[in-house]
Amino acid sequence: MFRLIFQRLLALVPLLFIVSVLTFSFTSLLPSDPVDLILGDTGTDEQHEMLRERMGLNEPIYLRYLQWLGRAVQGDLGNSFFNSVSVMDAVMQRLPVTLSLTAISALIAIVVGISAGVVAALRPRSWVDRLATLGATFGQAIPNFWFGLILVAIFAVNLRWFPATGFTPITNAPWEWLRSSILPSIALGTASSAAIARQVRSAMVGVLQQDYIRAARAQGLSARRVLFKHALTNAMVPVVAVLSFQITVLLGGALIVEQVFAINGLGTLAIAAVRQQDIPMLQGLVLVMVGLVVIVQLATDIIYGLLNPKARPT
Amino acid sequence: MTIPASENSRTVLIRLPKPSASGMITAVAVFILLLLGFMAIFADVISPYDPLRQNLINALQGPSAEHWLGTDDLGRDVLSRLIYGCRIAVIASAEATTIAVLLGVPIGLFIGYRGGWWDWVVMRIVEAIVSVPGIMVAIVIIAILGTGLHRAMIALGILFSTSFLRLARGVVLAEREEVYVRSARVIGTSDRRILLRHILPNIAPPLIVQVTLTVGAVLLSEAGLSFIGLGVQPPDASWGTMLNTAAAFMQLAWFLSIPPGVAIILTVLSVNLLGDVLRDSIGRGIAGDAPQPASAVRVNLPAATAAPEPTAVSRPDDVLRIEGLDVALGGDTGVPIITDLSFGIARGETLGLVGESGSGKTMTGLAILGLMGPALRATKGSIVLNGKDLTSMRQNEIEKVRGNAVAMVFQDPTTSLNPAFTVGSQIAELLRTRKGLSSKDAWKRTVELIDRVGIPRAAERAKAYPHELSGGMAQRIAIARALSCNPSLLIADEPTTALDVTVQQEILDLFRDLQEEYGMAILFVTHDLAVAADICDRIAVMYAGEMVEMAEVNALFAKPRHPYTRGLLHAMPHASDREPPLPTIRGSVPRPGNWPQGCRFSNRCDYKTSACETRIPLVGTSRRVRCIRADELNLGRRP
């Protein structure tokens, strides 16, 4: 097991290196000149030239990349062009918000997806199966932000069960945190629930036809034990393989759903950074997100190895 | 995929309800997409108002005769904006998908074909891109290119090109090792020609499916980007920008969010459904046209006129006693699978159940365990094990019998052990749940059992996973598992068929040893008469769901009385005679539902007379045969 973790960690090095090169070179392609952005129309040509020199913009790009990378691995992602706040601070301040939404929606997606998939697989072609399949088909076609709007209209504006906008940090008031996260997380998690349900259903239908399921029943193990231990463990193997992708999708979706609920997360930061051509902010956002995705991938790889002995290195 | 006309018409007749249901959904999906295309092309003609014309006096009105879908915050007609939104949706999905295909497929083909350094670098870049949330990739590209419909679609095109790249690469990697591609290379065909002529056509089917998936994803992404203000810019009407407006006025005019939302859902739903249909039909095309199960064809069997047949004398030491068993697919009026089956097995005895595939041997074994599957049911007769009738038992009662009183060893040991758990834990689990042993005792007993079935270093092997064991080893484990709760009956379903010949003999010896030690009865299902001769005391020959002959093993081999048994014996290879070629029984076992009336073997039998067209009873006591001419025919071992 440790070998597996070690192997995965090792494989991350080239990935993170390439991500950093791509991020840096792409953001360097931004059409605007940072010096113009910072000084605006004010300032003399000398002042412009001085700032240019001070920011190191006259140096060759590979040198600037190395300097940037050197600071980035130490946790310094530079300062925003727009308001000179530290990118790391700005991102870390918003991160818990986006992370809350992603985590709760992932939990919803996993619980709903697996239960619906299993129930559907137990009775293929029954009405439960048809209903689950229909729900999954619809779930994948509904835009998360539109679903958010509808949820707000029904449960916040009409029924007043949940706040329509805003986000309460968990450290302030855990109950309010849950209340403010639940609608955005449902909006966000629906499509992933649908995707996971479809995956679970097809995996489970396949596993239930396997010899070892019949063999386990033939040895007298109870239907429930065979289903939840023997079948589900195997059915989860392909599901876990797509889980990290779904969580990546949720993280991206959170950027948009946040806008519906006027939640001040990474999404608002990213949109502002695009509008303001804030290069360090965009770079920082991409790196932090890749970091999160990589952690999720590592976790799912480990779970995959636990579920599927064949995937473990020998 | 060509289906003969007659086959086709028959299939359609039988399966009419199902295709029409899914066919209707497909038709609706196609209709919606055609409607979308129509509105996109003729938006200028059919929209009642100019989508950009403002009328602030009429702002935020609900649906009315003048404005069917109401007006927005600037008094613009929602219906007209929705119709123009169709145009944006079509342009958006066409642009982004085209860019994705044109970018992804050639690069994928190239790196897949060239391999090496190119492949490594490009694939690492792709991995890097897909490890960033897609919307963030699009946001960065939009930051470089600027906002607006076309720029946003270039961004999405670049983003989605990664999936086409991987798809094309995958197909090339699979195809370039195919024999026909290699031979083309050997005769000096140019790389370009190989790619265009040999590999590209194979990409088409998965490519079409991927395109539909991408179109759906593009529509959702475009709406999302426009919603957060990075896609289509106001005042242009896209469904995403309309929702952006709606979001601001949710409390005042919630209805604004409904038309664009429904438009997006219907379009994406139609595209996805179409993609599902395409994927299913392409998948079927690859898998080949699977033959229809015979379930649809019904045959009216004559009522069992031969009914009260002389059953064999019930022996007092029988562990298992099956009496007049009928199994049917789909209940009493369904297709019969097994009819009128009776036999018994005594303690310490091995009964061989032989016959070709499809004769009902395995089904008999599963019927004893009550594991035939949901569609199959025992409709008549009894299965008495240790004095208790299993056919009348409820689910939880029969679960107690399984494993304890009767256990089964399956044909393929590598698939009958759960790949996710160690072999030892699969045996220990039974000992804990069925015998109530503690974890420690269960493990100790497991190691003993594994040692008993002849596996060296048992304690170590118990911790192995099934895929780490050879077939013979895995079958020994399966046998150990079956024996773990000391069953009085062991059903062995072709336990040696999947194994090497040398291993086969070892496993047979193991069965013999274990039977001597534990004294259980064995029902040994096999199609291999040599194996049956080796291990069985008595042999029952099955054909088309019924027993045609049963005898003590030496008697059966010395003098078969049923023409089918004779055919089987003749088809046995013998080391002594290489020539002439082995005689075979012509034809094959008819499927359930297609059995001839009267003697079911009659259409393959050389001795058939007109008398064979009525139901033939099984006669005799210790030696039983189901052939009307059994007494007059002299079916020696060698003709």
**Structure-token match 């001070």, residue found:** A54
Rounded to an integer, what distance in angstroms lies between the CA atom of residue B612 and that of residue B626?
A: 11
- Give the pLDDT confidence of B302-336 residue by residue, as tens digits: 333 444 444 445 677 788 999 989 988 877 778 88
Ranking B206-210, B221-225, B316-320 by mean pLDDT, the lowest is B316-320
- Give the pLDDT confidence of A137-162 residue by residue, as tens digits: 899 999 999 999 999 888 988 888 88
- DSSP-derived letter for residue B132 is S
What per-residue confidence (pLDDT) applies to B25? 84
Ranking A107-116, B66-75, B542-551, B575-584 by mean pLDDT, the lowest is B575-584
- DSSP-derived letter for residue B218 is H
CA angle A263, A265, A267 (to 5 degrees): 100
Three-state SS for A206? helix
Hey, how many other C-beta atoms are within 10 angstroms of the C-beta on B527?
16
The CATH number covering residue B141 comes to 1.10.3720.10
Three-state SS for B97? helix
Query: Which chain A positions have a beta carbon within 8 Å of B395's beta carbon?
Result: 223
Tell me if B602 is assigned to some domain.
no
Rounded to an integer, what distance in angstroms lies between the CA atom of residue A81 and that of residue A89?
A: 14
Q: Which residue of B has its CA nearest to A145?
A: B224
pLDDT at B576 over 70: no
Angstroms from A308 CA to nearest CA on chain B: 6
Q: Would you place residue B2 in the very low, low, confident or very high pLDDT band (cuts 50, 70, 90)?
A: very low
What per-residue confidence (pLDDT) applies to B580? 60
Residue B383 amino acid letter: I
Residues 219-238 of B with CB under 8 A from A: 220, 223-224, 227-230
B228, B244, B385, best to mutate vs chain A, most A CBs in 10 Å: B228
Q: Which residue of A has its CA nearest to B372?
A: A214
Q: Could you give the number of structural domains in chain B? A: 1
Query: Would you say B147 and B153 are in contact if contact means Cβ atoms under 8 Å apart?
Result: no
Whether residue B224 and residue A143 make contact (CB cut-off 8 A), yes or no, is yes
Whether residue A143 and residue B421 make contact (CB cut-off 8 A), yes or no, is no
Burial class (CB in 10 A: 0-12, 13-18, 19+), B137: buried
Query: ipTM, 2 decimals?
Result: 0.90
Rounded to an integer, what distance in angstroms lies between the CA atom of residue B204 and that of residue B168?
A: 10
- Give the pLDDT confidence of B55-94 residue by residue, as tens digits: 888 878 888 878 888 888 888 888 999 999 999 999 999 9
Tell me if B64 is assigned to some domain.
yes
- Give the pLDDT confidence of B602-624 residue by residue, as tens digits: 888 888 888 888 888 888 877 88
Residue B630 amino acid letter: A
Domain A90-311 class in CATH: mainly alpha
**Structure-token match 């195919």, residue found:** B178
Structure tokens given for A211 = 């010899």
- Give the pLDDT confidence of B85-136 residue by residue, as tens digits: 999 999 999 999 999 999 999 999 889 888 889 999 999 899 888 889 999 9
Query: Which chain B positions have a beta carbon within 8 Å of A183's beta carbon?
Result: none
What per-residue confidence (pLDDT) applies to B250? 82
- Of B78 and B638, the structure prediction assigns the larger pLDDT to B78
Tell me if B497 is assigned to some domain.
no
Query: Which chain A positions have a beta carbon within 8 Å of B481's beta carbon?
Result: 219
What per-residue confidence (pLDDT) applies to B242? 92
Annotated domain spans of chain A: 90-311
Tell me if B334 is assigned to some domain.
no
Hey, how many other C-beta atoms are within 10 angstroms of the C-beta on B400?
13
Whether residue B415 and residue A19 make contact (CB cut-off 8 A), yes or no, is no
Task: List, edge to edge, every strand of the sheet that includes B546-552.
Answer: B406-409, B489-493, B521-526, B350-354, B538-543, B546-552, B624-625
Strand pairing class (B546-552; B335-346): unpaired
- Give the pLDDT confidence of A273-287 residue by residue, as tens digits: 988 888 889 889 999
Rounded to an integer, what distance in angstroms lies between the CA atom of residue B191 and that of residue B113?
A: 9
Instruction: Tell whether the torsion through CA atoms of A269, A275, A280 and A283 is positive or negative.
Output: positive
Tell me if B274 is assigned to some domain.
yes
Query: Which chain A positions have a beta carbon within 8 Å of B273's beta carbon?
Result: 137
Percentage of residues of chain B with pLDDT beyond 90: 35
For B152, residues 6+ apart whose C-beta sits below 8 A from its C-beta are: B92, B138, B142, B222, B225, B226, B230, B231, B232
**Structure-token match 């409390």, residue found:** B251
Closest by Cβ to B250, choosing from A157, A217, A274: A157
Whether residue B228 and residue A271 make contact (CB cut-off 8 A), yes or no, is yes
Domain of B211 in residue numbering reads as 27-287
Closest by Cβ to A157, choosing from B125, B251, B467: B251
Q: To the nearest 10°, the Cα dihedral for B249, B250, B253, B259?
A: 100
Q: What is the mean pLDDT of residues A119-132?
A: 89
What per-residue confidence (pLDDT) applies to A151? 92
Hey, how many other C-beta atoms are within 10 angstroms of the C-beta on B262?
13
Whether residue A271 and residue B246 make contact (CB cut-off 8 A), yes or no, is no
A8, A15, A146, best to mutate vs chain B, most B CBs in 10 Å: A146
What per-residue confidence (pLDDT) applies to B581? 63
Residue A201: closest CA among A307, A134, A122: A122
Structure tokens given for A246 = 């779904």
Q: What share of chain A is helix, strand, coil (3-state, %, to 5)?
A: 80, 0, 20
Chain A to chain B Cβ contacts (< 8 Å): 222
Q: Would you place residue B521 in the very low, low, confident or very high pLDDT band (cuts 50, 70, 90)?
A: very high
Q: What is the mean pLDDT of residues B576-588?
A: 67
Rounded to an integer, what distance in angstroms lies between the CA atom of residue A286 and that of residue A20?
A: 9
- Of B324 and A51, the structure prediction assigns the larger pLDDT to B324
- Give the pLDDT confidence of A209-229 residue by residue, as tens digits: 888 998 998 888 888 899 999
B144, B256, B409, best to mutate vs chain A, most A CBs in 10 Å: B144
B124, B126, B131, B417, best to mutate vs chain A, most A CBs in 10 Å: B131
B524 in contact with A, Cβ within 8 Å: no
